[in-house]
Structure 1
């Protein structure tokens, strides 16, 4: 098999169809000497003349006729299974779409994305997971996770692509009947209030903490929790304040009349919300389609790398 060039099979089929060296040369876009040389190699390999001259044409031998049928089958499989670009049809796909979402990502992305995916890929289930950064990286590489969406500062290795969808700021939440009634806090008020702090796996809190540390501003932290879902419930029943990415603050104030958003007394740091994928799947048709759906829905300030 090491001596059989796959291109020789194309010559074999062309000779059978054209029954002449010159005709096969035109069909293959090659010179007549090149086709004659290929025929000589075929004859040597199969130890058979394969095509013999009869009048103005070349007629196949019985060995050639049996080979041509197999060659057409092999070349057809090569064309459809190897050479042809893979296609993906979201409308018929049953493959589950797996997304790793940060705390912000789940609130900001999932409702709109699920609605769009149900429309475009109605047969595909959607699976959202929340995992430690190392598990997200391993899942993206293994293909068990299609995309990571949100704030994932650990996915910086060269094996990952990332695309910024948009950036947002931070805001604070107070209970609706809090003694502080201002819509925007003064710095004195912000520092005097007692704070709840969310230190989740996504590490979004690090953005605001680094910002305050650079300005040597220290909050009075009386509660630390790993869950964004519990912090607003506690704030709604106390005099505590919690500072979270603004999309989360807006969401919690919409779903609970007991909470209201208050502005920060300083220019808020910005947090980039991105989608991430492993370089193994950069050219995968299904992954490319999914990334385009996400970008079309959410990208405001494109910045990809």
Structure 2
């Protein structure tokens, strides 16, 4: 058999099935979903042309072929683990590790300054880079290791991904201090829908659901400007009478520098969870674990 055709992750699933005999326990042990375990088993069955495990009242019973493979596969996995164990310690003070985070520009504005300041204190040799959330490629980027983490509202990351909530995000209505609406303590729905709007159309995240709620039930905004990112929104709102719906934490960062006013949103909108995501294969990686803890410490509320 050509080893180039064998995904070694499948052997990890096989070995754990020999030990656990139940798909649910294997999923829990490996930090992946039950469908991912079943998919791996189906791939192995096709690859080896054998059922390997049969479902019984006592769990998944191995076939004679599976029993024949169990010992050499277990030995191979133990050998690899032993070889890699010498690399299992992460020393932030001396590390030159580079991490890549998939984030929007709002994520860069909110997360990067405090994170970089903390890294300068604790891990001066560690570097960061970011890539954009691309709905077509994000899963592949995470699975391949091109991205170590993703941050945001990302409902498409399911299955073999872990997630940890950082905080709940509210949305607010934002406009410049000299806007006619700034004189009012409360912006009504009528005021909101009568005004001209700048909107951010952000593909690949959950923000599109907010737009659907705002423009639903027969009410639609008077949209004068649509942009694909948040980064210019402060400049745009500062110089025009447009208003915008923005995540509250971004709005608070823009409020002072751009002389903006933030008010409660007149449309009842749900809070959204902003989560940190990482792939199962990095779940036990010491460097990944260290940066996760740092992110939780800085941003979990």
1:295 corresponds to which residue?
A: 296
Q: Is 2:256 aligned against 1:260?
A: no
Contact map agreement 1:212 1:218 (CA 8 A) in 2: yes
Q: What is the deviation of 1:154? A: 2.3
Q: Indicate the residue corresponding to 1:20 in structure 2.
A: none
**Aligned CA-pair RMSD:** 2.3
Matched with 1:185 is 187
> Residue 234 in 1 paired to residue 236 in 2?
yes
1:191 match: secondary structure: helix
Instruction: Provide the aligned length of Structure 1 versus Structure 2.
Output: 222
1:93 paired residue number:
95
- Secondary structure (helix, strand or coil) at the match of 2:136 reads helix
Residue 159 in structure 1 maps to residue 160 in structure 2 = yes
Aligned pairs for 1:72-221 within 5 A: 81-82=83-84, 86-155=88-157, 157-180=158-181, 181-213=183-215, 215-221=217-223
Are 2:252 and 1:271 aligned? Answer: no
Give per-residue Cα distances to partners, 1:190-235, cap 9 Å, x unaligned.
1111111110235453132232255543222222111212233222
Unmatched runs of 5 consecutive residues or more in structure 2? 1-78
The normalised TM-score by structure 2 is: 0.67
Unaligned runs of 5+ in 1: 1-76, 301-305
Aligned mates of 1:243, 1:273 — CA distance in 2? 17
- Please tell me whether the aligned partners of residues 105 and 151 of structure 1 are also in contact (alpha carbons under 8 angstroms): no
Q: TM-score, normalised by structure 1?
A: 0.66
Q: Distance in 2 between matches of 1:95 and 1:297?
A: 20
8 Å CA contact retained: 1:174, 1:240: yes
Do 2:151 and 2:277's aligned partners in 1 also have CA atoms closer than 8 Å?
yes
Alpha-carbon displacement from aligned partner over 1:132-162 (angstroms, at most 9, x marks no partner): 133332222122211111222322x202111
